[in-house]
Amino acid sequence: MKLLYKYFLCFCLCLTMITYSAKAEDGSAYDASHDVQLSQEKAVQIVTACDGRKKVIVEGCNEGDVMPEQKARKVAELLMQLMEFCEEEITAKLPKTEMFIQLSINGMPYVTVRDAEEIPLILVHGGKSHTEREKKVWAAEMDRMINEGYALFHNPSLGKNGISCDMCHPDASNTHPETYPKYQTQMNKAVLLRDMINWCIENPMEGEKLAEDDSKMKAVEAYILSARAGKKLDPGKH
Amino acid sequence: MNTKHKEKNEQVQYSALAGVSRREFLKTTMKAGVFIASSDYLLNSSENLVQLVAMKQGKEEFLFAYISDSHLLARGKEHRFARALIKAVEDVNAMEPQPDFVFYGGDLAQLGLREELLLGKDIIAPLKPKVYMMVGEHDWYYDMGEAWKEFFGKPTYSFDHKGVHFIVLNSVIVEDYWSETKMSPMERMLFMAQLDNPKGRPFTVGEEQRKWLKEDLSRVGKGTPIVVFSHSPLYKYYKPWNFWTDDAEEVQKLLAPFKSVTVIHGHTHQVLTNKIKNIVFHGILSTAWPWPYAPEGIPKLTIQMDRADPFNQFDGTGWGMAGITSRGKVNKTYNLWDRNPMVVSYEKLLSGKEHVAGHSY
């Protein structure tokens, strides 16, 4: 089945290469102005796949020229790889030397890969923009972590004397995560936010300190950082 | 003052003044509006500060002490909050001369439980002067004030003392948020106990008490000095933390005809000074913990206390005093444990242009 599909693609490609070996200027399926500029300076030939969404700008070939067979095969292979890879619009630039390939996805800036094998590495999101569903899932996951921290912060469970963080730090005020790392004179060393969190757990709240990689510690940090996001840094004040 | 207290106090004063020349100290003190009657002040530092303050606003006639916001948990007298209240009681009992009375500013309990309130009653029982109690939201929302009223009486009342009319209000009334959602008493209490609760309801004095206040004031001469006690500040400072009274303007209006009005409030756990028209407002300290200043709305007249040292339970906390002058003006002292006391005299308020920009929180 896959083989058949490849043959079909190849057939498409050959067709387009014959029928649509266009001038750079009017092969205006992509509109990046530097491409036009480039195409005016250099000899290029633009080859478009039959889906109309993948193009290769072949440098060193004049429009109308018949490409050397090896080059033509390389271009066809590249187009196929791009089509298999994703549905998005991709423009590839193939320099005369064929030392590398430049790719632009959906009009984004070009990125350079050494050969077609590297395409998946560069286009990390598979070339797709994030779906609303994905964004919702990610936001929910982040909120879950922050909310867990909020709950711990507003609950005496981290301590042993019935006192909770929010009693002294409403809305995470006075926690100043933006000031860390810093030297704590009372501890005689430079510390991180989590050290001060642990200090407040052990002292005003008379609890047992959390391991640094404890998910509770991470959640409390997440809440503090999110509640104080965007607060101005006031060096020397806190 | 008894000797134990005297020694301690001297120590504190001197250690805090190390590095500051006596002249400089006097200068700054003067600038802060405190008028030192005698240059022997430093030699005599155990004397009551307020009594050394000479005032244009009349001689100081009497003094009362306040203790507030102890937030006791039912965890015995060894708990840090209980120890702090015990410390305040000992300090007040060590005052010499003794204050005319002690005012308790609310939030004796943390979760409104009988055990907490009883523990508090037990701890303040040794106070030598007469005690006047006020209710705070932490005392109220577990059983809607039932236990508190049983132990301490009415939450709203007034009394006269040496020509001054004192009024005690319950300013922590909020609209019902618990019936519809069928909250249990403890759920209702915890909802209220969370200062930064985004769903929290604003405090009010409420129509019923405003009516009572109007009637109470109708029997008082307009020249009589008035001191009002409320748990929440009787103005609008910062709504998200309920540093706020929603019907403040209406209460202020009732107090407008009187020549000398001072409101003293708990709840904010910080040095806080405000003046709106004829009314001066003073915050009071908590024995349990200090609160950071709110991110906005801090009254201009407030000279902010420094950030508390988290490594010291008794930093940023304490109790205080108020001296009443013959003209009914109030000189307010914040007795911050482990720091110099802060005096906000009436003089200072009148000249109060020296707004000091504090830290951002």
Do B73 and A169 count as a contact with CB atoms less than 8 A apart?
A: no
Q: Which residue has the higher pLDDT, B26 or B228?
A: B228
Q: Note whether A144 and A171 are same-domain residues.
A: yes
- Residue A193 falls within a domain, yes or no? yes
A118-132, A186-200, B139-153 — which is least confidently predicted?
A: A118-132
pLDDT digits (tens, 9 = 90+) for B122-136: 999 999 999 999 999
Type of residue at B173: I
What's the gap in Å between the CA of B293 and the closest CA on chain A? 9
Q: Note whether A136 and A121 are same-domain residues.
A: no
Type of residue at A4: L
Query: Which of A147, A166, A167 is the best substitution to test chain B (most B C-beta atoms within 10 A)?
Result: A167
Q: What is the per-residue pLDDT for B88?
A: 98
Do B361 and A174 count as a contact with CB atoms less than 8 A apart?
A: yes
Q: Note whether A116 and A142 are same-domain residues.
A: no
Residue for token pair 């309801």:
B201
Q: Note whether A118 and A36 are same-domain residues.
A: yes
Q: What is the per-residue pLDDT for B299?
A: 93
Count of residues in chain A:
238
Q: Note whether A115 and A22 are same-domain residues.
A: yes
CATH number at A139 reads 1.10.760.10
- Residue B28 falls within a domain, yes or no? no
pLDDT digits (tens, 9 = 90+) for B234-244: 999 999 999 99
Query: Which of A154, A171, A182, A198 is the best substitution to test chain B (most B C-beta atoms within 10 A)?
Result: A171
Work out the average pLDDT over A94-118: 86
- Residue B21 falls within a domain, yes or no? no
pLDDT digits (tens, 9 = 90+) for A29-73: 444 444 445 545 678 899 999 888 999 999 988 888 888 899 999
Q: What is the per-residue pLDDT for B339?
A: 87
Q: What is the per-residue pLDDT for A238?
A: 58
pLDDT digits (tens, 9 = 90+) for B43-68: 344 344 444 444 455 677 899 999 99
Q: Note whether A214 and A174 are same-domain residues.
A: yes
Assess whether pLDDT exceeds 50 at residue A18: no
A100-104, A161-165, A213-217, B28-32 — which is least confidently predicted?
A: B28-32
Q: Note whether A175 and A107 are same-domain residues.
A: no
B202-227 burial code (b ≥16 CB/10 A, e <16): bbbbbeebbebbeebbeebeeebbbb
Work out the average pLDDT over B17-37: 37
Work out the average pLDDT over A82-99: 87
- Residue B17 falls within a domain, yes or no? no
Q: Note whether A177 and A219 are same-domain residues.
A: yes
Assess whether pLDDT exceeds 70 at residue B110: yes
pLDDT digits (tens, 9 = 90+) for A148-203: 999 999 999 999 999 999 999 999 999 999 999 999 988 999 999 999 999 999 99
Q: Note whether A29 and A76 are same-domain residues.
A: yes
List chain A residues with CB under 8 Å of B79.
Answer: 161-162
- What global pTM score does this model have? 0.74
Cα gap B303→B288, rounded to integer Å? 21
pLDDT level of residue A129 (50, 70, 90 thresholds): low
Q: Note whether A115 and A92 are same-domain residues.
A: yes
- Residue A105 falls within a domain, yes or no? yes
- Residue B43 falls within a domain, yes or no? no
- Residue A215 falls within a domain, yes or no? yes
Query: Which of A146, A152, A163 is the best substitution to test chain B (most B C-beta atoms within 10 A)?
Result: A163
Cα gap A5→A16, rounded to integer Å? 17
Q: How many domains does chain B have?
A: 1
- Residue A27 falls within a domain, yes or no? yes
pLDDT level of residue A116 (50, 70, 90 thresholds): confident
What's the gap in Å between the CA of A170 and the closest CA on chain B? 5
Identify the domain containing residue B160 by its residue range: 51-350
- Residue A237 falls within a domain, yes or no? no
A161-170, B28-37, B283-292 — which is least confidently predicted?
A: B28-37
- Pairing state of beta strands B157-161 and B164-168? antiparallel
- Residue B25 falls within a domain, yes or no? no
Identify the domain containing residue A214 by its residue range: 132-228
How far is residue B73 from each of residues A62, A160, B218, B231, B294, measured CA to CA in Å? 87, 12, 40, 19, 25
Q: In the listed set A64, A97, A127, which residue is the last one of a domain according to the structure? A: A127
Q: Note whether A35 and A123 are same-domain residues.
A: yes
Closest Cβ–Cβ partner in B195, B240, B310 for A200: B310
Q: Is A107 on the interface with B (CB under 8 A)?
A: no
Say which residues have a Cβ less than 8 Å from residue B248's Cβ, sequence separation at least 6.
B233, B234, B235, B236
Q: What is the per-residue pLDDT for B33?
A: 38
* A203 → chain B, closest CA residue: B311
How far is residue B104 from each of residues A111, B63, B136, B201, B303, measured CA to CA in Å? 71, 15, 10, 24, 24
Do A161 and B292 count as a contact with CB atoms less than 8 A apart?
A: no
Cα gap A55→A47, rounded to integer Å? 6
Q: What is the per-residue pLDDT for A62?
A: 84
Q: In the listed set A127, A156, A185, which residue is the last one of a domain according to the structure? A: A127
A12-16, A114-118, B283-287, B309-313 — which is least confidently predicted?
A: A12-16
Interface of B with A (CB under 8 A): 71, 73, 75, 79-80, 110, 194-196, 240-241, 289-292, 295, 307, 309-311, 313, 359-361
Q: Note whether A82 and A150 are same-domain residues.
A: no
- Residue B31 falls within a domain, yes or no? no
Q: In the listed set A74, A103, A127, which residue is the last one of a domain according to the structure? A: A127
Do A170 and B196 count as a contact with CB atoms less than 8 A apart?
A: yes
Work out the average pLDDT over B21-38: 38
Among B251, B250, B280, residue whose Cα is nearest residue B263:
B280
Assess whether pLDDT exceeds 50 at residue B323: yes
Residue for token pair 């009024």:
B167
**Peptide bond preceding B225: is omega within 30 degrees of 0, i.e. cis?**
no
What's the gap in Å between the CA of A195 and the closest CA on chain B? 13
Q: How many domains does chain A have?
A: 2
- Residue B69 falls within a domain, yes or no? yes
CATH number at B305 reads 3.60.21.10
List chain A residues with CB under 8 Å of B241.
Answer: 170-171
Helix (H) or strand (E) holding A183: strand A182-184
Average pLDDT score over chain B: 85
Cα gap B275→A61, rounded to integer Å? 84
